[in-house]
Structures are given as structure tokens and as C-alpha cells.
């Protein structure tokens, strides 16, 4: 990957921050799903590659799980641009410059309108409108062993943490619906072209 970057961006790498990621994975039959509209790891777990400007002899893999909403505050932090308003993400700069494992524990959330996936220290709870699933991602990366009936205390803890997370998230929403961006016909057409709107 580094060789490709150097060839494609020759002359720019000294002052260019490069971030490569994806908005979702594909289930490809996992859990009998062939789309990307669900909350299993084959869909949520995407690559995140970061190359800092200049030459960096130390490179490696950061094992701490992070979220895509962390990318925006990370870019601003690396460029030393202050945030004008609170955001839900957190800067990943400490992870990028940390030697060895970083003690970065965080409760994370992925959601659809009716369903949520809650993550904490390697445990994942999928809370759907009609059922719940619990997985130990450290031992079961393919989410094949549902532990919901054997670890009720973990489920309770994660639901409580999710409730607190949503309460805290209110701090990030400012004012009324007037603060939301106006949806234009061009935006609708782009969403249709991407397959997110079918009507």
C-alpha cells in the first residue's frame, strides 16, 4: 500500500494526510444476509488506514476499536484546527502516536431506526425491536454463538450504558430542526443513485 501511495502521490506525501476507509462491508451470505443493511461485523467492521504526512519509521496495527465518526475530529486535531461545536466522535491522535497498546476503552453504538448494536470491551449486544443477541467478539468474530440466554447481567449492563450514552448525546444536538441542512433535489438524486432511496 505504501508503494502505491508513493507512486500515485509523489511530491505530495510530505504534507498530505491520507485516510482510507469504507462506509460499510458486505454480508455476502453471512447470517443469511446478502446486503449491507444489518448490524453484524461483516457489515460494520471496515478498514481504516491512516498515513501521516512525512516519513514515519514506526508503523503498525492499532487494535483498539474505533468509529467512523472519529475521523472528522481526528483530522481537525492533526491539523490543529479547533472544533467550533461539540461532535460525537473523538480524536484518534493518541492512538496514532502511542507506543504499544493504548488504554482506550469506550462504549460504542451503531444503529438503524429500530435496531442498535452496542459494543464494550469486546462484547457486542444487538438490540432489535423483536429480539436481542449477545456476542463475545474476542472469541467469536463471526458471531456464531449467541450468548443472550447465558449472560443476562452483561445484557443489563450494556442496556444501561446505552441509555446513558443516548442521554449524553443530547449535548451534541443544538436547537431545533431548523439547524438541520436543507435537503435539495440534487441530494435526493445522489441518494437514489447510491441505492439508499428506492422510491
Domain annotation covers residue 6 = no
Higher pLDDT: 139 or 14? It is 139
Q: Which residues of 96-116 are buried (b: 16+ CB within 10 A; e: fewer)?
A: eeeeeeeeeeeebbbeeeebb
Domain that holds residue 164: 107-199
The answer, as to whether pTM is greater than 0.85, is no
Per-residue pLDDT tens digits for 111-145: 777 788 888 888 888 988 888 899 999 999 999 99
Grid cell 467550533 is found at 84
* Among candidate residues 129, 118, 121, 126, the one with its CA nearest the CA of residue 158: 118
Domain annotation covers residue 35 = no
CATH of the domain at 150: 3.30.1120.10
Q: CB of 159 within 8 A of CB of 167?
A: no
Amino acid at each position: 500500500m505504501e508503494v502505491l501511495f508513493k507512486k500515485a502521490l509523489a511530491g505530495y506525501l510530505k504534507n498530505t494526510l491520507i485516510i482510507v476507509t469504507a462506509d460499510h462491508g458486505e454480508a455476502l451470505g453471512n447470517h443469511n444476509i446478502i446486503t449491507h443493511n444489518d448490524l453484524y461485523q461483516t457489515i460494520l467492521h471496515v478498514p481504516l488506514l491512516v498515513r501521516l504526512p512525512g516519513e514515519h519509521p514506526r508503523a503498525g496495527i492499532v487494535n483498539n476499536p474505533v468509529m467512523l465518526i472519529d475521523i472528522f475530529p481526528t483530522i481537525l486535531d492533526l491539523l490543529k484546527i479547533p472544533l467550533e461545536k461539540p461532535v460525537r466522535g473523538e480524536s484518534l491522535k493518541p492512538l496514532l502516536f502511542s507506543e504499544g497498546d493504548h488504554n482506550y476503552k469506550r462504549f460504542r453504538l451503531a444503529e438503524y431506526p429500530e435496531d442498535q448494536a452496542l459494543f464494550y470491551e469486546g462484547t457486542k449486544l444487538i438490540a432489535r425491536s423483536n429480539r436481542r443477541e449477545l456476542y463475545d467478539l474476542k472469541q467469536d468474530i463471526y458471531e456464531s454463538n449467541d450468548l443472550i440466554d447465558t449472560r443476562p447481567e452483561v445484557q443489563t449492563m450494556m442496556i444501561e450504558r446505552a441509555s446513558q450514552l443516548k442521554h449524553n448525546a443530547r449535548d451534541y444536538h443544538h436547537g431545533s430542526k431548523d439547524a438541520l441542512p436543507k435537503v435539495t433535489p440534487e441530494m435526493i438524486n445522489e441518494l437514489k443513485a447510491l441505492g439508499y432511496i428506492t422510491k
